[in-house]
């Protein structure tokens, strides 16, 4: 079974992916957080920097596009094909209000007929394989059977399902009965995404769904960066390894931004998840979140490594 690294906008951008891969790795593919094509069909320098092949450092990567206009999606696919990509992913999951108000991300799921027309135009001309990352619906899991019927009409390279609906964002109950329907009825390969944070979680899922093509892991692989490696029988992360990883990542961010302040900000977002791998991490994790300035951040990170025992896998309300 394949293991994909989920895209987390603001966290798993190229600096993170490259550093994480250097220290841990163990995933088959890395999903690049979405970019939204403009109506003028101009790739912004910022988007180009993130998706160009040299930024991937040779890692097998899948760029993700968020749009509800077939002509813009086809334009983006052309750009990605020219860069040498063989697959692009459509974002049908983003729950953010500014996105859904424009009918994009999970907002597109509220208009199944338009989505059907979009796919019809896209799949007749797509120059690369197209995969889809979706939720169960905009408001209710009851929307899913209809959406699945539409997905089944097209040769989607892989249908990644996050079994929640938009108001849940990334919290609360996952609707496994709806995911089971995807496994039963999808004519396209299916990937599961959501809340996987231990090898036991992944093994239980694989046992329940032997036909599963892939799992996609996001927060669990930040909270325990060795999780994908452990799925392949590799060792858990050691304290020294984690320290080398966070030091390397902090340095890479400082180099990227040219200053410590935004680098600290990025590191605090990583620590928001990583702290769960340490016993009684909440107190120091909370202090780190509230801290100001690079010196305070560095002192708190040193204190975590000095004081807190490591767990075997992350615990607590990770999500
Ligand atoms: C901060 C943040 C940013 C995210 N950015 C994206 C994104 O750019 N594209 C996407 O498809 N999903 C995005 N997601 C959703 C994740 O890819 C994933 O579906 C979600 O975290 C659930 O999987 P997990 O429990 O393994 O983390 C984001 C989630 C978070 C928390």
Q: Is the pLDDT of residue 26 over 80?
A: yes
Q: Is 111 a domain residue?
A: yes
CA 304 – CA 163 distance, rounded (Å): 34
Residues 105 and 244 in one domain: no
Neighbours of 150 (CB within 10 A): 16
The distance in angstroms from the start CA to the end CA of the chain is 24
DSSP code of residue 68: S
Residues 177, 182: Cα–Cα separation, whole Å: 9
State residue 158 phi and psi, 5-degree precision: -160, 135
Residue 62 CA to ligand 1 centre (angstroms): 14
Residues composing the chain: 319
User: Are 213 and 282 found together in one domain?
Assistant: no
Does ligand 1 come within 6 angstroms of the Cβ of 160?
Answer: no
**Nearest protein Cα to ligand 1, atom 29:** 8
User: Do 249 and 198 lie in a common domain?
Assistant: no
User: Which atom of ligand 1 lies closest to the CA of 133?
Assistant: 11
- Domain membership flag for residue 211: yes
User: What is the best residue among 6, 62, 194, 219 to mutate for testing ligand 1's pocket, by most ligand atoms within 8 Å of CB?
Assistant: 6
Instruction: Give, using CA atoms, the residue closest to atom 10 of ligand 1.
Output: 7
Distance between Cα 90 and ligand 1 center (Å): 13
Q: Which domain holds residue 243?
A: 239-307
Q: Is residue 105 part of a domain?
A: yes
* Pocket flag, ligand 1, residue 64 (CB < 6 Å): yes
Tokens 């951040």 identify what position? 297
Q: Is the pTM of this model over 0.75?
A: yes
Atom of ligand 1 nearest to the CA of 33: 8
Ligand 1 centroid, distance to 7 Cα (angstroms) = 6
**pLDDT given for residue 315 in this prediction:** 73
| Whether residue 212 is found in the same domain as residue 301 | no
- Testing ligand 1's pocket by substitution, the residue of 35, 218, 266, 271 carrying the most ligand atoms inside 8 A of its CB is 218
Q: In the structure, what pLDDT confidence band is assigned to residue 312 with cuts at 50, 70 and 90?
A: confident
Q: What's the CA gap between 147 and 113, in Å, rounded?
A: 9
Model confidence band, residue 250 (pLDDT cutoffs 50, 70, 90) = very high
Residues 51 and 12 in one domain: yes
Burial (CB count <10 Å: 0-12, 13-18, 19+), residue 16: buried
| Per-residue b or e along 170-198, where b marks 16 or more CB atoms closer than 10 Å to that residue's CB | eeeebbeebbebbbeebebbbbbbbbbbb
Q: For ligand 1, what atom is nearest to the CA of residue 269? A: 1
Spatial distance between the Cα atoms of 50 and 137, rounded to a whole number of angstroms: 29
Residues 213 and 266 in one domain: no
Q: In terms of domains, do 108 and 255 share one?
A: no
Confidence of residue 318 (pLDDT cuts 50, 70, 90): low
Residues 92 and 142 in one domain: yes
Q: Which residue has the tokens 């709806």?
A: 178
Q: Do the domain assignments include residue 19?
A: yes
Q: Report if residue 313 sits inside a domain.
A: no
**How many domains does the chain contain in total?**
2
Asked whether the beta carbons of 223 and 198 are under 8 A apart, the reply is no
d(CA 48, CA 35): 10
Determine whether the shortest distance from the Cβ of 89 to ligand 1 is under 6 A. no
With a 6 A CB cut-off, is 11 part of the ligand 1 pocket?
A: yes
* DSSP 3-state of 172: coil
Decide whether any atom of ligand 1 lies within 6 Å of the 33 Cβ. Answer: yes
- Residues 24, 167 within the same domain: yes
Ligand 1 center from residue 306 Cα (angstroms): 31
Answer yes or no: is 281 within a domain. yes
* pLDDT exceeds cutoff 70 at 278: yes
Decide if 66 is inside a domain: yes
The answer to whether residue 58 sits within a structural domain is yes
- Give the whole-number percent of the chain exceeding pLDDT 90: 97
Q: Cα separation of 109 and 250, whole Å?
A: 38
Structure confidence at residue 316 (pLDDT) = 66
Is a pLDDT exceeding 70 seen at residue 317?
A: no
Of 221, 172, 186, 180, give the one whose Cα is nearest residue 201: 221
Confidence bin at 82 (pLDDT 50/70/90): very high
Confidence band of 314 (pLDDT split at 50, 70, 90)? confident
Nearest to 276 by CA among 249, 242, 251: 242
């Amino acid at each position: 079974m394949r293991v994909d690294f989920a895209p987390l906008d603001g966290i798993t951008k190229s600096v993170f992916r490259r550093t994480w891969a250097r220290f841990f790795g163990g995933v088959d593919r890395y999903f690049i957080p979405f970019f939204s094509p403009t109506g003028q069909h101009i790739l912004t320098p910022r988007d180009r920097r993130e998706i160009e092949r040299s930024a991937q450092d040779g890692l097998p990567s899948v760029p993700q596009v968020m749009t509800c206009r077939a002509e813009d999606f086809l334009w983006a696919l052309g750009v990605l094909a020219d860069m040498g990509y063989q697959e692009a992913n459509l974002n049908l999951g983003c729950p953010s209000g500014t996105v859904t108000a424009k009918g994009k991300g999970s907002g597109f799921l509220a208009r199944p007929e338009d989505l059907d027309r979009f796919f019809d135009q896209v799949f007749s001309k797509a120059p690369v394989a197209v995969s889809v990352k979706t939720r169960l619906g905009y408001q209710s899991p009851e929307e899913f059977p209809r959406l699945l019927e539409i997905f089944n009409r097209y040769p989607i390279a892989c249908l990644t399902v996050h079994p929640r609906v938009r108001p849940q964002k990334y919290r609360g109950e996952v609707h496994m009965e709806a995911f089971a329907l995807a496994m039963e009825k999808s004519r396209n390969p299916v990937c599961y995404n959501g809340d996987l944070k231990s090898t036991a979680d992944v093994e239980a899922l694989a046992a329940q769904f032997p036909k599963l093509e892939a799992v996609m892991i996001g927060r669990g692989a930040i909270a325990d960066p060795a999780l994908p490696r452990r799925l392949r029988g590799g060792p858990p992360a050691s304290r020294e390894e984690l320290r080398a990883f966070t030091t390397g990542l902090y340095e890479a961010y400082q180099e990227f931004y040219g200053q410590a302040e935004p680098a600290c900000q990025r590191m605090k977002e990583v620590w928001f998840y990583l702290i769960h791998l340490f016993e009684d991490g909440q107190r120091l994790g909370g202090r780190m979140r509230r801290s100001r300035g690079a010196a305070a951040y560095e002192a708190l990170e040193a204190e975590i490594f000095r004081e807190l025992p490591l767990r075997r896998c992350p615990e607590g309300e990770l999500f």
